Amino acid sequence: MSPSLPAFTMEDQQLAKTNGASSEAVENLRVDDLVIDQDEQSKEVKPESIARDGPELDESRDLQSGTQLERLETKSESEVSIDRQGDSGDKIGDEESNIDNNSGHSELAKEVEGGESTQILDKSDEIPIEDHNLEPVFDGTEVPGMEANRSTSGRRSDVDPDSPGVVEKAVALKNFVKEKGAVAVSTMMRRLSGKREEVVDYEGRDVSDISGVGETKVMSEKAVEKFDWNPLNYIKKSSDVDVGSKTDQKDSISMKGRVILYTKLGCEESKEIRLFLRMKRLRYVEINIDVYPSRKTELDKISGSTSVPKIFFNEILIGGLSELKTLDESGRLGEKVDFLITEAPLFEAPSPPLSGEDDVPSSGPIDEMAVIVRKMKESIAVKDRLYKMRRFTNCFLGSEAIDFLSEDQYLERPEAVEFARKLADKLFFRHVLDDNLFEDGNHLYRFLDDDPIVASQCHNIPRGIITLKPKPLAEIASRLRFLSRAMFEAYAYEDGRCVGYASIHRSEEFARYLRIVEELQRVEISDSSREEKLAFFINLYNMMAIHAIIMFGHPDGALERRKLFGEFKYVIGGSTYSLSAIQNGILRGNQRPPYNLKKPFGAKDKRSAVALPYPEPLIHFALVHGTRSGPALRCYSPGKIDEELLDAARNFLRNGGVVIDVTAKAINASKILKWYSIDFGKNEVEVIKHVSNYLDPADSEVLLDLLATSDLKVTYQPYDWGLNC
- pLDDT band, residue 185 (cuts 50/70/90): low
Per-residue model confidence (pLDDT) at position 525? 94
pLDDT at 395: 96
User: Rounded to whole angstroms, how far apart are CA atoms 543 and 520?
Assistant: 14
The answer on pLDDT for 2 being more than 70 is no
For Cα atoms 420, 424, 426, give the angle at the middle one, nearest 5 degrees. Answer: 115
CA neighbours within 13 Å on the CB side: how many for 590?
17
Mean pLDDT, the chain, whole residue set: 78
- Sketch out the chain's domains with CATH numbers: 10-199 (no CATH), 259-342 (3.40.30.10)
Evaluate if residue 59 carries a pLDDT over 80: no
pLDDT reported for residue 375: 95
The reported pLDDT for the residue numbered 143 is 63
Segment 241-260, tens digit of pLDDT: 443 444 454 578 899 999 99
Contacts 24+ apart (CB under 8 A), 342-345: 342/255, 342/256, 342/257, 343/256, 343/257, 343/314, 344/256, 344/257, 344/314, 345/257, 345/258, 345/314, 345/315
| pTM of the predicted protein model | 0.73
164 vs 339, more confident: 339
State the Cα–Cα distance between residues 571 and 698, nearest whole angstrom.
46
Q: Which of 98-112, 195-209, 290-304, 483-497 has the lowest mean pLDDT?
A: 98-112
pLDDT of amino acid 521 = 94
Q: Is the pLDDT of residue 677 over 50?
A: yes
* Residue 486: pLDDT over 90: yes
Give the pLDDT of residue 362. 65
Range name among 46-55, 430-439, 541-550, 711-720 with the lowest pLDDT average:
46-55
- Tens-digit pLDDT profile for residues 271-290: 999 999 999 999 999 999 99
At residue 149, the pLDDT reads 38
By residue count, the chain amounts to 725
Mean pLDDT of 153-161: 39
Which pLDDT belongs to residue 577? 98
Residue whose C-alpha is closest to residue 629's, from 621, 641, 640:
621
Please report the pLDDT score of residue 378 as a whole number.
93
pLDDT value at 54 more than 60: no
Looking at residue 208, what is its pLDDT? Answer: 55
